[in-house]
Structure 1
């Protein structure tokens, strides 16, 4: 998808405007994202090594003037011009993190701390009220519909008159940030008694009440003529913090349609997408522009969707923004989730070389190096991140992964706690800290860490899997089964998830379900033809007939065989034990390539011993001798194998004597 020069110029102008608008409203993350995108065009020549001569005739370079990104509404423009000195003061105070003083510039006394509006009449708030409060709200509205043209009037209105939308946004956003700051202070230590949902942002109710009144006076949700999209975004955030997801979705959708280049609004909207089906439903209400494609790529990555459509969308965006670090990061994460570690490693290496001071997403790179494992490169990454900024959550996650790989789990926990002290919503740190507590056998702390990770991002299958592990350690197998099922539903492409589900079913004495889950793990973890059903011990159509040379996980095959044995299905059990043995050898002459097997392992030795006993019980002495002699050579279960050999030899000798005498 290529843009014409006019389309590219228009897109650049839009990005320039939104960078300035986001900076004005102190939405610095969204401003940074848009600015990086603005510098990702193929034709951009504004680099640090640009030695071209400066000329006076730069007609092709669009330089936005101050009035270009202001609202085109004459009334809003007049209000903003009149407020300009106070706005400069408020923004300076915000930048100095004096949030209360910033809010007081425009809302000096109207919004006392922790005080909500006495009357709340919209659908988005009525759901949060008690029955008595709902009745009071309905009476107070005098029969008017919610978000009507004539809202119920409060005795003491919290909104000052003649205030621009930009000033109101900055004041309310400062109030929100003030509440977040107090919330973090009141939460005290990580995983302490006051940490978590028990401590809330006390400014949310006041912000909701003010925005309620503001939007009521302007026609409500359906009337978009009087809104710029920024206050809608703030209202959506406040509703999200009160768990009003349905209402938050409506206001965030309205925000991205009114102000499509505010990436922060798209991220909040993405947090509400729970499945590919929901993403499809969202797409029907999204604006038809380039930001919807970014949203689609980001949501697909979070939902672990490695489909051709996703990579096609990624390729289209890369044709427009070939230097975009964000797109490269998304591609690397897609490869990482798809277990294409080599491709992900190359992309992350390129990112690190091109932008060594960029830490965004580098904690995922450290996860990749941990999984490989590659300790020298992880140590290098930790050193680079520490030199850039020691007080970034990403840096502390990288250091935590390094110490975890070194088996220094206490130090790893220390760094993950530091990351969370810097940002309690940094979801990766909660999950990784849970892993470390599992290693330290601190089950309660691990479960609480995983719960916080799930609260932050319900799409993280690792956190759900960790909860299953924690409850499995506590022998609460029904609970562990539930969490393993959630993990497998979120990431069905990982055989580890299905194997965990199978183990949980087995511990709950649900043998049939356990066998099906283990077979699903085999299907996911192999590249064989799955058109036929598993478990057939006869016929050439069995898809497992050529599953040798390590094509399947021998541990899972052994577990399936044991479950069949438990059910009394001896032929099926023997067939899966034979398949377990088959993983030792290579593909042989009939196989394709020179693929080698797994060799002798403890699991295959246990399968060989089981088969030796099985053949012994059936009187198949030659096969029993063959298996027992192999066990004696392998070094596993030697004593029992020698006993079988002696027993079989004795029986054979006795049989020969009887034949001679006869």
Structure 2
């Protein structure tokens, strides 16, 4: 993506306007995001621009282009400054009362929406009947109206948190609601009815009231209408990043994202939104990486885009690369706490205790009462196996922000370690309520119910996790194991073959597992999964299939090159016509990274799974009177010091049979 100097100047002005307008409406996170993106733009000051500076009036401080709105803003400037100051001091009810007194808002709820006549023409002002005089709204600017109503919503959220019981306490049911949503929804419903023309267009709209109405509708679980208002908002003012984030929260599937994309404005923000939402849906691949690189060419030091790059590597299971990206990001922005909880997860999995200790100390010194800081410290104590302290910090993070997804999920993991299954299930359920796309919470629920031996419940949750991460072999392994415990071996075999398909390292030039010689190109497969498939075939009395997978399991010791009949198993494993290379959720890059780390041709060496498979093959050879093969396999078991006594017994029996056969033959 290459932008001309004029395009860069226009983009810079748009971001400056976004910072000012979002700050005026107290949308602090959106203003911060726009300011960070603005700061990452390279300096494009030209000679012509510098000579024109004395007469230049920046658009960020230029007056409102709508004369009617400009007149209203000028008239109510004193009140607006008072309301803005009260909002900044967190006196939200006082802020709202500056423009919308409580008696007016309470009287608004007694009216009926049918009393509002639709707007005829012109500026979209509705002809309000005399009988509905109580529904006539005060004549104030959209900026002041947004501030007043937004303060009311924030006040309701604050009171909801105050009324909520202690996190995971006996009365914490998660059912407390924001009581101010009803009056705000009623007010905006009337406002849009009065300002909508016959063709359905809100005349003179600035886009912020649509954004606020979308938030209210989303909290009321009216997601389709909320998405409609969010789309309207980004058409009016595309630089409001908070609106794009709300849209991301409503999208749960890639198909939904593809349906929404054609209705979005042709703007760079749509490009960034598509990238961010794809990452939230755990997508990966070369196309997404290419889009990210194009944006980084425009914003080379953007903390947001560098975080996206780290998360892309994280979702692709390239933990080493993700750790390096986060380390580089931390060196560029050492005081930025956003997304450091993801960094702590990576350090936890890699067991980099010194780095995690440094990160915990850094976060605590910057702001110990940020949810991200509490999550980082909780991960550090979890790595030290101090699970009670870890739970304490995760609960502190949730006290600060009930919607902190990482804290809910990680606290569920800690309760599993503490053998408190009831609390673990509740933590995972709350995580799913915050974000239904969190596959870790679904997988955690499946694990917890499996511990309780409630396999039907566990299977349902495992399938939800596998639906979100269809090319993650771990999800399908869990599904297959659960089906096996339920006695559904045939279905379990299909799930485990899908796990092999997802986790196998494959040549980027191969099109699918069904092609000739594909098994020869497969560098490594999980021997535990192969053993499990073979055991399920054995339980179905299909010894030929069981033997083939046992041989393939043993062959993984030296990289799979010695599997007898391995090429013939390609058709058996390829149970799906789709391939990871063709799906949106997988990439050839992921397989390449894994092959580099795992060593494609090195093999796994002797493992418990390969030893069990070798023992089964030796016993099978005895049953089929192939005594020389049984003797060879049992001898290998003795050399590996695995099941030595049983192997020696097999050797004695095999040699005895061979001697007997030789005697009779003589």
**Normalized against structure 2, the TM-score is what?**
0.87
**Per-residue Cα deviation, 1:370-389 (whole angstroms, up to 9, x for no partner):** 22232221112112111111
Matched, 1:358 2:351: no
**Per-residue Cα deviation, 1:608-634 (whole angstroms, up to 9, x for no partner):** 111121111112211112222222232
2:99 maps to what in 1?
106
Matched, 1:598 2:590: no
Contact 1:22 1:30 (8 Å CA) reproduced: yes
Matched, 1:169 2:137: no
1:216 maps to what in 2?
193
* 2:519 partner SS: coil
1:544 maps to what in 2?
519
Correspondence 1:491-506 to 2 at 5 A: 491-506=469-484
230-239 or 372-381: bigger deviation = 372-381
Q: 1:195 to 1:173 in 2, by over 3 A?
A: farther
* CA–CA separation in structure 2 for the residues paired with 1:248 and 1:17: 25
Cα distance, 1:455 vs structure 2 = 1.5
* Candidates 235, 248, 263, aligned match of 1:257: 235
Contact 1:577 1:607 (8 Å CA) reproduced: yes
* CA–CA separation in structure 2 for the residues paired with 1:318 and 1:545: 39
2:589 maps to what in 1?
none
Correspondence 1:213-612 to 2 at 5 A: 213-219=190-196, 222-528=200-506, 541=516, 543-545=518-520, 547=522, 551-586=524-559, 595-612=601-618
* 1:217 partner SS: helix
* CA–CA separation in structure 1 for the residues paired with 2:183 and 2:458: 40
* CA–CA separation in structure 1 for the residues paired with 2:274 and 2:533: 39
Cα distance, 1:346 vs structure 2 = 2.0
1:189 maps to what in 2?
166
1:76 maps to what in 2?
69
Which has the larger helix fraction?
2
* CA–CA separation in structure 2 for the residues paired with 1:2 and 1:541: 43
* CA–CA separation in structure 2 for the residues paired with 1:531 and 1:193: 55
Cα distance, 1:547 vs structure 2 = 4.8
* CA–CA separation in structure 2 for the residues paired with 1:625 and 1:318: 62
Cα distance, 1:116 vs structure 2 = 7.4
Contact 2:8 2:44 (8 Å CA) reproduced: no
Cα distance, 1:503 vs structure 2 = 1.5
Runs of 5+ consecutive residues of structure 2 not aligned to the other structure: 564-594
Correspondence 1:105-124 to 2 at 5 A: 105-110=98-103, 117-119=109-111, 121=113
164-173 or 302-311: bigger deviation = 302-311
**Per-residue Cα deviation, 1:234-268 (whole angstroms, up to 9, x for no partner):** 00000000100010011010011111100000000
Contact 1:297 1:313 (8 Å CA) reproduced: yes
Report which structure shows greater RCO (CA 8 Å, sep ≥6). 2
Q: 1:62 to 1:444 in 2, by over 3 A?
A: farther
* CA–CA separation in structure 1 for the residues paired with 2:562 and 2:415: 48
Runs of 5+ consecutive residues of structure 1 not aligned to the other structure: 46-54, 122-136, 535-539
Contact 2:119 2:195 (8 Å CA) reproduced: no
Q: 1:267 to 1:102 in 2, by over 3 A?
A: same
Cα distance, 1:476 vs structure 2 = 2.1
* CA–CA separation in structure 1 for the residues paired with 2:80 and 2:188: 20
Q: 1:603 to 1:356 in 2, by over 3 A?
A: same
**Per-residue Cα deviation, 1:360-411 (whole angstroms, up to 9, x for no partner):** 1111111111222322211121121111111111111111111222222211
Q: 1:616 to 1:421 in 2, by over 3 A?
A: same
Q: 1:148 to 1:169 in 2, by over 3 A?
A: closer
2:20 maps to what in 1?
20
Cα distance, 1:185 vs structure 2 = 0.9
* Candidates 161, 165, 178, aligned match of 2:155: 178
Contact 1:392 1:419 (8 Å CA) reproduced: yes
* CA–CA separation in structure 2 for the residues paired with 1:208 and 1:594: 59
Contact 2:111 2:132 (8 Å CA) reproduced: no
Correspondence 1:124-143 to 2 at 5 A: none
Q: 1:142 to 1:485 in 2, by over 3 A?
A: same
Cα distance, 1:90 vs structure 2 = 0.9
2:636 maps to what in 1?
630
* CA–CA separation in structure 2 for the residues paired with 1:58 and 1:390: 47
Cα distance, 1:192 vs structure 2 = 2.7
**Per-residue Cα deviation, 1:320-352 (whole angstroms, up to 9, x for no partner):** 111211111111101110112232222111111
1:205 maps to what in 2?
182
**Per-residue Cα deviation, 1:208-236 (whole angstroms, up to 9, x for no partner):** 00111111111179213221111110000
* CA–CA separation in structure 1 for the residues paired with 2:108 and 2:536: 59
**Per-residue Cα deviation, 1:407-434 (whole angstroms, up to 9, x for no partner):** 2221111111111111111111111111
Matched, 1:91 2:68: no
Q: 1:646 to 1:546 in 2, by over 3 A?
A: farther
**Per-residue Cα deviation, 1:468-510 (whole angstroms, up to 9, x for no partner):** 1122222222222222112112112211011111112223332
